[in-house]
Structure 1
C-alpha cells in the first residue's frame, strides 16, 4: 500500500513538473506569432545570448531590429518575450506589476545571498518593507547626507594624491577599485553609520573586495542560478549550505565565501547599532553619522511602528546586506563609466571642470548648488541613459495577461497587432537599455554620448512616449513599486564625488584595452576574457592654466 502511494506521488509530481515546465514545447502559444530571432539551441534557447558577458551585440540587434517587442526562446523551447515598448513596459512595471512579478530565480537568489530584504520579497511583504524604508530616502534626509558625502570624498582625493605621489606626469590608477571603495564607504557612513575603509591606503576592505567579486562570480554561475527555484526551499539553511560542498564548481564555492563575508559583516554592524540604541540617545549620537544614517532611521522607525508593521531582525539584516550591495556596485560602476567617458572626451571633461570650479570657488558645494549645476546633471543623465548599469530585468506572469502596445507590430501571420496576449508562467525580459537607446524615441543619435541633449528641451518623441521610469524619462532606475528606492542617494553620491575629483585631477585613458562586461550590473575588465574587475586610467594633478 505504501509502495503504491509512493509511486502515485512520484507520478503526480513528475506529471506536474512536466506540465509546468514543458507544456510550452507542445502547446501552441499566442507568442508564436511574434517576430524574434531564432533560438541559438534547444537546450538554452536565447538565454545564453542574453546572459553572455559579450552579449552587447545581441541586445543591440533586438533594439535595432524589432519595434518594441520580440519573441525569444528560453531553455527547452519555452517562449519568452523581450519588451521595450513604453506602453507595454507601463503595464509590466506599473499598471499590472503584481501580475508581472519578479522572476522566481531572481527572488530566491537574492533571498539566499542577501536575506529577506527588498530584493528578496514580493507583493504585500515587499510593500510593507518599502513603506518603512521610504522616509530614510526623503529629500530632507538627503540634504543631511551632503556633509558625510563630502567628508568621504575628501578622503578619496587624499588617497589618490598619495597614490600618484605628486608626480608631474600622469600615473596609472585603477579607478574602479577607488570608486568601489568610495561607494562602500559612502553607504557605510551615510547608510549604516559605519566606516569600512579610511581610503588612505592601497589595500581595500575585504568586504569591498567581496562585493566587487560578486558580479564576475555570478556570471560564472548564471546557468546554475536558474535551478534555484527548485532547490532554494530544500530543507534548512544549514542543510543547503552543506549540500554546496558537493557541487564541483569553484565559482559556487567562491560565491558561498562572498555571501559569508557579507553576512558576517552585516551581523557585526547590526549588533553594534542595536547595542547603541539599547544604551540610549547619547550612545547613538556618538556613532559615525550621529544616528542620522539610513539604518539608524530604519531601526528607529521599526521601534516606533505598530506591531503588525514591524520587521523581524532577519529582515533588518537583509536590508543591510541589500543596501550595501545595491548602493555600492551600481553607483561605483556608474562613476567609473562616467570617468571613462570624460577621459575619452577631454573637451567635455574640461567644460564640466570649469563649471564646478566656478560654482565652488574653492569651497565644498551644498545640496542646492550641487543639484543646480546644469552640465554636471547633463553628464550624469547621459551616462545613465546610454550606459545604464543594469541592462535588463526579468519578470514572470502569475496569470494570463494582455500587453497593449504603443507601436503596433506585424505578426508572422501578416496581421497588425495592437496588443499581445501573454500566457501565465511566461518569462518577460524588460529591456531597460533598449528603451534608453531606442532611436524611435531618442532620435538617430541615440547611440551617441551627448550630454548637451539635456541642456535643451527633450524631443516630443521622448515626452510623448510616457516612459514609465522613475527618473528622467529613463528606465535606468526602473519604475512602479520596485523602482530603485535609493536613486536620489546615488545621484548625490555621483555628483559630490565628480565635483571633488575633477577639481583636483585630470583623467586620460590608459593604453590597456578596457572591456565592459554585460552582467547583472555591468563591470569593466582589462580585455574581454579577464574576470577581475578593473578600470586603469591615467591620473594627474590638475594644473590651472595661467590667465
Structure 2
C-alpha cells in the first residue's frame, strides 16, 4: 500500500506530462501540411473550428470553398492540423480507394448510440453492414409504401385539425416534419408508433431525439473530454460494471448539461431496448399469429431480425448491436430528413412558380393513377419532384462535412494541381498519420468548377433533360447519390439514403397536393438557417428550431 501511495504522484505527473505533450506538439513540431494555404487560427484551443461550427458559419464555408484550392489547411482544436478536402480524386481516395487509411471519429458516437453502424470500424463495421444492406433494398422500400402512406395521411389530418382549431394559417412546419420523420422511422423502421400525429401529444422519446444535438453543444468542457475518451469507452464495453460506474459519474457530475445529456441517453436506450425485447418475444412466442407478425413484418427491424436469424453464426449481430442500430437509425434518419423537408418547403415559398409546377405534376399523376395513393414506381418516377429533392440536397446538404482521421502516413493524389504557400504547385500531398480530414460536402456540391457559374443558385431544372455540365460526370465524384457528396460514398455511405429519399417524396407529394405554402407576413427576413451538426431554421435571434409558414388547405 505504501508503495502505491509513493508511486501514485509520479504516475499522475507522467500522465499530465503525456497529456501536455499531446496538446503542445501540434504547436511545436513542423508538418508537411504547413505548406498548404488556409486561414489562420483565432484560438489556441479551438483553432478555426469555432468559425466552422458557429451558427452563422456560412460565410466561412464559402471562404474555404472559394478562396483557396480544393484542399485547404487550417488549425483545428489544440492546433491539430486539419484539411478541408473537396478535390474529387482526393475524395475518392479518402472514402473509397484508401478508406481503410482514413477512419471516422467514433468516440462520441460510441458514448451516445452504442456499437451501431456509425460507431464501428474496420471488419466490425463491414460485418454489420453486410447484414444490414439487404434491409434497405428496393424490394423492401416497395413494401413500405402502404406504411408511409398511412403516416402521411395522418400528417395531413393532423395539420388540417390544427388549422381549424387555431383559426390561423401560421404553422410551425419544422415541428410537423420532425414528428413525421420520427413516426416514419418508427413505423417503417421498427414497426412501432412514436407519435399519433395529433396536436399537442407529449412524447418523451421524440423530445429526447429533438434535444440530443442542442444538448451536446451545452456540455461545455465535457465536450473536450470526448477527445480522450476512447480508452474509457473500450473499458466500459469490456467490463459492464465499469460502464455502470461511468454512467453513474455523469449522473452525479455537478453540471446540468451533462446530467440532462445522460437523461436523454437513458430515454433513447430504454425505449430501444423495449422495442427490441417486444420483437424478440414475438419471435419466441408459441402463438403463430404473433410470431408471424415479425416474420412477415414490413418494417426494417423485422427484416433485420429475419436476416440475423438466417445469417451464418459468425455474421450474426449480438443483441447490444441490434439495439444500437435502433438508436443509430433514429438519429441518422430523423433530423436530417425532417430538416431537408423543411428546407424544401421554405424554398417552395421563395419560388412559388416551382411550387405550382410541382403541385401540377403530382395532381396529374394522381389523376392518371385514378387514386390519391401513388404506387412506388409512379412516385419515384416523377421527374420534377425528383429534381426538387436533388437540387435541395445539392445546394443545402443537411450535413456540411464529415470527419476522417489518417490512421497511417499516406499520399493523397489530386485531380487539380494545388498552389502551395511557396508558389510551387503539386498534384500529390503527403498526409501524416493523425491528420484530421474534413470531407467538404458543402464545397463539393457547390463547386463552380464542376457545376457551373450558377452553382450557388437553386435551380431544380438543372436536373432535367440531361442538363448537368459534362464536368460533373468527368469528375467522378465518389458520392453514392447523383454525383453529390450529401450521402457520402464508399463503404461508409449512408446506408438508408433510399429510405430517406422515399420519405421525402411521399411527404412532399401529399403536402403540395393538399396545401399551399407561403411566407408569413413580415417573417421572410426573420427566418434564419443555422449551421450546426444538422442545419436547422429558427426565427430572428432565437436559437429554438422553428419554421413558421402560412399553410392554406386547397380543398376547403
Which residue number in structure 2 is paired with residue 482 of structure 1? 492
Which residue number in structure 1 is paired with residue 52 of structure 2? 50
Report deviation, 1:226: 3.4
Report deviation, 1:524: 1.4
Report deviation, 1:239: 1.6
Asked whether 1:378 is paired with 2:360, we answer: no
Which residue number in structure 2 is paired with residue 330 of structure 1? 336
Distance 1:525 1:518, change over 3 A: same
More displaced stretch, 19-28 vs 416-425: 19-28
Which residue number in structure 2 is paired with residue 464 of structure 1? 474
State how far apart, in whole Å, the 2-side matches of 1:176 and 1:101 are.
Answer: 33
Report deviation, 1:158: 0.6
Which residue number in structure 2 is paired with residue 109 of structure 1? 108
State how far apart, in whole Å, the 2-side matches of 1:303 and 1:455 are.
Answer: 44
Q: Is the 8 A contact 1:36 1:71 kept in 2?
A: yes
Q: Is the 8 A contact 2:284 2:291 kept in 1?
A: no
More displaced stretch, 18-27 vs 409-418: 18-27
Distance 1:10 1:202, change over 3 A: closer
> What is the alpha-carbon root mean square deviation over aligned residues?
2.0
Which residue number in structure 2 is paired with residue 67 of structure 1? 69
Which residue number in structure 2 is paired with residue 495 of structure 1? 505
Which residue number in structure 2 is paired with residue 301 of structure 1? 307
State how far apart, in whole Å, the 1-side matches of 2:220 and 2:481 are.
Answer: 29
Kindly provide the CA deviation profile for residues 185-220 of structure 1, in whole angstroms up to 9, marking residues without a partner as x: 111111101111111233252211221122222233
Q: Is the 8 A contact 2:177 2:341 kept in 1?
A: yes
Which residue number in structure 2 is paired with residue 351 of structure 1? 357
Which residue number in structure 1 is paired with residue 266 of structure 2? 260
Which residue number in structure 1 is paired with residue 121 of structure 2? 122
Q: Is the 8 A contact 1:397 1:425 kept in 2?
A: yes
Matches within 5 A, 1:71-220: 71-103=73-105, 107-165=106-164, 171-220=169-218
- TM score, norm. by length of structure 1: 0.94
Q: Is the 8 A contact 2:107 2:229 kept in 1?
A: no
Q: Is the 8 A contact 1:53 1:219 kept in 2?
A: no
- TM score, norm. by length of structure 2: 0.92
Report deviation, 1:413: 1.1
Q: Is the 8 A contact 1:212 1:533 kept in 2?
A: no
State how far apart, in whole Å, the 2-side matches of 1:52 and 1:374 are.
Answer: 36
Matches within 5 A, 1:221-300: 221=219, 224-231=222-229, 233-234=231-232, 236-279=242-285, 281-286=288-293, 291-300=297-306
State how far apart, in whole Å, the 1-side matches of 2:460 and 2:165 are.
Answer: 32
State how far apart, in whole Å, the 2-side matches of 1:344 and 1:218 are.
Answer: 32
Secondary structure of 1:520's counterpart equals coil
State how far apart, in whole Å, the 1-side matches of 2:195 and 2:115 are.
Answer: 26
Q: Is the 8 A contact 1:88 1:403 kept in 2?
A: yes
Q: Is the 8 A contact 2:69 2:419 kept in 1?
A: no
Secondary structure of 1:98's counterpart equals helix
State how far apart, in whole Å, the 2-side matches of 1:478 and 1:395 are.
Answer: 12
State how far apart, in whole Å, the 1-side matches of 2:40 and 2:253 are.
Answer: 33
State how far apart, in whole Å, the 2-side matches of 1:278 and 1:307 are.
Answer: 19
State how far apart, in whole Å, the 2-side matches of 1:383 and 1:113 are.
Answer: 29
1:436 aligned to 441, 445, 448, which one? Answer: 445
Return 5+ residue gaps in structure 1 as ranges: none
Q: Is the 8 A contact 2:388 2:460 kept in 1?
A: yes
1:452 aligned to 458, 461, 466, which one? Answer: 461
Which residue number in structure 1 is paired with residue 239 of structure 2? none
State how far apart, in whole Å, the 1-side matches of 2:447 and 2:168 are.
Answer: 38
State how far apart, in whole Å, the 2-side matches of 1:257 and 1:79 are.
Answer: 35
State how far apart, in whole Å, the 2-side matches of 1:221 and 1:59 are.
Answer: 25
Report deviation, 1:23: 2.3
Asked whether 1:311 is paired with 2:317, we answer: yes
Report deviation, 1:539: 0.4
Q: Is the 8 A contact 1:63 1:434 kept in 2?
A: yes
How many equivalent pairs are there?
538
Report deviation, 1:5: 5.4
